Amino acid sequence: MTNILRKFPNDNLPPDIIGAKGVYYYLKNNKKLLDTTSGWTSYATLGFSNERINNAMKKQMEKFTHIDFNIWNNPMLEDLAQKLINHATNGLDKVYFGGTSGSDAVDAAMKLSYQIHFDSGRRNKKYYISRVQSFNGATLHAMSVSDLPILKIYDKLLPKGIYKISQHNPYASCKFDVKKNTCECNNHFKNCMGKFKNESDQDYLKRQLSELEEKINEVGAENICALIGETQLGSLVGDVPPLKDYWSKVYEICSKNNIHVILDEVYCGMGRSGKMFNYSWYDFSPDFVCVGKNMTSGHAPLSAIITKSKFQDIIAKGSGRIQLGHTFQGYSLGVAACNELINIIDEDKLMDKVCEKGSYMMDILKNELMENPFFKNIRGKGFAFSLEHQTSNNPKFGILLQKIMKEKYDIIINSKWHRTSFVPSFVMNDKEIDKFLSLFIKTFKEIQSDWLKLEGTNIDGVSKSMGAVEENK
């Protein structure tokens, strides 16, 4: 019996947890589990209950827990903005502390984009372009630019004027039949799921850019505020980096049409890729970069938008104020936590470690599993990469991997749908990395070689919260 309205009411209650420290969970039944997922939804980049972050927050608590930074200046907030800007590239030089969650950040970026056009006299701009197979958060606005089968029931509630283009996924293949001019990924010409057979990267990119231009022409550039997308596709599709020139070309088209580019780096930013901001791998200057869950390693809620001072000038001369706000934007304890998180990343040179160890992990997995019949590919950057499985029942294969790793080896991995996503904490040490990699490889091989037997079995004890229910690619 529980008084909590749970997200998965049909599941058994999960086990009681009594502690989480570093990369380990401690359960009431004395079990200690190694977490390779940074808290399942990939937020604990410096592990749980990090001592330095805890101390920074305690120190802040002795001064004040939260003050409204619109009324009082909090010098810590200025420090944090400076630190974020020091890591930003390509002309981004302003930080808007928009709220406490990633959804808030996406929502605020959409509204800011609208207001900036409004204050510039472009008053018809009210629509957005986003890509299929995406997730940008749980507010109505953030949901409206998302595209996920389980969100469909909310369709009637969502703001109108969102136009979808294809996802950008060079690892997915589109089953387009040139002779019949049809495609299995129905609605092929509207929302294509990937590359055609034998299509070069260059042709794929060209086709995707034409699709964007056609969409802009169809909707009318004068009506569109912004295009929004994750810089690197996240957990839904499985850590897919874009082709090298994708974002710079998209930006070129958008800026020509006075359309902002909003990047959602709630999942793939704040160091996950080996650079503080994922867009810094590419040569372009996005208008808004949303960050959230990775800002404090889960020690306090905080989100922000990295943007450009020219927009502040427009607002200052236009409406004279940002017309939106939240009580806990720039939440002081979150600010203290994020300041310390960036100190640690810089002092311990964790971006170098993420690049180096990320490649190391991908190389090992590739070398060990490349020849395995169930291996499809491995892709990603830094500590945000995925291994795609190719089996007769992908969700079941993922569930089995996850279950065996947990029950036999006390290791939590995130294996869902068609992929295992590797998003470990940056503080995981070499021994822990080697241990979980070798046990993962062993389990992958064992399930594969026993597949005919296992495929027909029932899998008990896998909850919907941890398991896989539908395929997303």
Site residues, ligand PLP (CB under 6 A): 41, 101-103, 106, 135-138, 230, 234, 264, 266-267, 292-293
CB of 144: closest distance to ligand PLP in angstroms?
A: 13
CB of 100: closest distance to ligand PLP in angstroms?
A: 8
- Judged by phi (left if over 0) then psi (alpha if -120 to 50, else beta), residue 115 lies in alpha
Nearer to ligand PLP, 135 or 281 (CB): 135
Provide CB contacts within 8 A for 264, sequence distance 6+.
102, 106, 136, 137, 228, 229, 230, 231, 290
Nearer to ligand PLP, 145 or 342 (CB): 145
Q: What is the distance between the alpha carbons of residues 102 and 188, in angstroms, rounded to a whole number?
A: 31
With beta carbons less than 8 A apart as the criterion, state whether 403 and 459 touch: yes
The residue number whose beta carbon is nearest to ligand PLP equals 102
Q: What is the distance between the alpha carbons of residues 435 and 409, in angstroms, rounded to a whole number?
A: 10
CB of 264: closest distance to ligand PLP in angstroms?
A: 5
Phi, psi of 259, rounded to the nearest 5 degrees: -115, 125
CB of 120: closest distance to ligand PLP in angstroms?
A: 27
What element of type H or E holds 215? helix 201-219
CB of 148: closest distance to ligand PLP in angstroms?
A: 11
CB of 198: closest distance to ligand PLP in angstroms?
A: 31
Instruction: Select from 291, 192, 175, 170 the least CA-distant residue to 240.
Output: 170
CB of 175: closest distance to ligand PLP in angstroms?
A: 27
CA 429 to chain centre: 23
What element of type H or E holds 24? strand 24-27
Q: Is 25 helix (H, G, I), strand (E, B) or coil?
A: strand
Nearer to ligand PLP, 234 or 286 (CB): 234
Nearer to ligand PLP, 266 or 300 (CB): 266
Nearer to ligand PLP, 268 or 344 (CB): 268
Q: Is 471 helix (H, G, I), strand (E, B) or coil?
A: coil
Nearer to ligand PLP, 43 or 251 (CB): 43
Instruction: Select from 402, 406, 410, 400 the least CA-distant residue to 448.
Output: 400
Q: What is the distance between the alpha carbons of residues 386 and 119, in angstroms, rounded to a whole number?
A: 42
Q: What is the distance between the alpha carbons of residues 156 and 197, in angstroms, rounded to a whole number?
A: 36
Nearer to ligand PLP, 6 or 349 (CB): 6
Q: Which residues pair with 230 in a beta bridge?
A: 264
Nearer to ligand PLP, 95 or 433 (CB): 95
Nearer to ligand PLP, 266 or 466 (CB): 266
With beta carbons less than 8 A apart as the criterion, state whether 215 and 137 touch: no
Nearer to ligand PLP, 119 or 265 (CB): 265
CB of 408: closest distance to ligand PLP in angstroms?
A: 29
CB of 195: closest distance to ligand PLP in angstroms?
A: 23
Q: What is the distance between the alpha carbons of residues 63 and 456, in angstroms, rounded to a whole number?
A: 60
Neighbour tally for 243: CB within 10 Å: 15
CB of 449: closest distance to ligand PLP in angstroms?
A: 34
CB of 266: closest distance to ligand PLP in angstroms?
A: 4
Strands 162-165 and 94-99, bridge-based pairing: unpaired
CB of 230: closest distance to ligand PLP in angstroms?
A: 5
Strand runs labelled E in 350-397 = 375-381, 384-389
Residue type, 321: R
Nearer to ligand PLP, 22 or 229 (CB): 229
Nearer to ligand PLP, 138 or 364 (CB): 138
Output the CA angle 76-55-354, nearest 5 degrees. Answer: 85
What element of type H or E holds 246? helix 246-256
**DSSP conformation letters of 425-442:** -TT--HHHHHHHHHHHHH
